[in-house]
Structure 1
Amino acid sequence: MHADSVQRSHILPAVLYIGIVVILFVLAMLYCGYQQVFRVKQIIVHGHYELEDRYVTRISGIKRGAGMFELDLATARDLLIAEPYIFNAYISRQFPDAVHIYVIERQPVALLELREMYALDAFATILPLPSSYAADKLPVISGIDPNLAVEPGKATVHPDIRHAIHFMNYMQQFGPAICEYSKYITWDNSRGWVIRKDRSHPPIYLGNEDLEERVDILNAFMTKMKDEQTDIRGFKYISLRYNGQVIVRD
């Protein structure tokens, strides 16, 4: 009995102490709420380029004056990644009054000409036309069924578009000589993929198979023409469709 009373005498102060701490914490939170200490005053957006920070803030649903503890960060993130140009997002609180929004944007690498013009990222995701990127410097993919149904923010499964993006990405390793020549990338039912720099340069027929191998051959051919100081604008066309051969017509 004596041991039990001693044990209770030790427990009661601890319980009383915890109770006082909880009450003080609740009172402190109520006071802070009354004084608007933990209210959102700053919303800072990081990583944006195409999208304006005000737009990112608006679509997140986070508003200045909201309680810091009342923010639904998971829902805000879902709202952000529903925007076609946002690949991923992360949101954090910085007490007492700041919210940081970090976004990773999709970057357009090409334009897609259908009945309307769209942009594409490196994963064949359909994007609205950009306003912060120099669209006139992006290659244009055309010749695809103009009635193709696409959804901005979603990666297209159309094999021809994915094919074009795939060999475009492969071309990046060869530097500007090849990349600049691929300003216009056109699907032709009889010749396969055709690339062209502009009207003053001949079209290059790549066909529709073994495109990586044909790009390798094209790079070697272009390097040789440069070393020999040959102006390829004198050719009518260049074809790589047959057994790894380069066929030119003057």
Structure 2
Amino acid sequence: MKRAKEYLESLYEKYLLRQCRHVPKHIAIIQDGNRRFARESGIEVALGHRLGAEKTETVMDWAHDIGVTHMTLYCFSTENFRRTKDELGELFTLFTEKAIGIVSDERVHKNKIKFQMVGDRNLLPKDFLEKIERVERITKDYDHFTINLAIAYGGRNEIVLAAKSILQETRKGTISPEEIDIQTIEAHLYREQNIPPVDLIIRTGNDKRTSNFLPWLANGNESAVYFCAPYWPMFRKIDLLRGIRMYDQRIKNDPSYFP
């Protein structure tokens, strides 16, 4: 029965791939449902997060193979700091372990995968920040596939930080108020990170909201949004391809699109 199911899913994956002529350049994913998956499965929440982290690595492989060039993963929001001390400790232990593992992962170096963090670094534990910044230094020149890790991230907080940075420069006289435009704001949102607009947002866990995620790059770009039911640890390649198919259909229906 299991083999039959896997065979049918493989056929369906191929069918979905044939339908997707246009692959989004930048996919952003809200990885929701680790805790609910753990509770409903009767396992510890910490194990739910670890299974979610394993799924993240698998999904990165799928996206790379399909031809996606940028992926932003909503790993931890500024609101998540409200969780219990024990859960926060488990999460940042997991994040630190994964950051250490990236450095020695052969796939990262073979496929030239660049990792960079977006979020408020002032809120992060020192040990984890040191590890993730080492990952950024080691992979900074890779250019085949870019993974943006949204950690201690909040969309409104991101815009506030950019506004403060611009205000400091106006006080110094390096920018005049008349010079402030869209490009100025983008430059202060993503200094040196060169993150393109989001084409597709995917949210798992059957929660139909975008949760303050990338408001400038996603909402400003009117990105496609795909909500799906599976909790993040149960996310399948079929779910990813369905999201890409929806993006493809939107492109085809866009009056500005010319085949």
Normalised by the length of structure 2, the TM-score is: 0.22
Normalised by the length of structure 1, the TM-score is: 0.23
More contact order relative to length (CA 8 Å, sep ≥ 6) = 2
Which has the greater radius of gyration?
Answer: 1
Q: Decide which structure has greater strand share.
A: 1
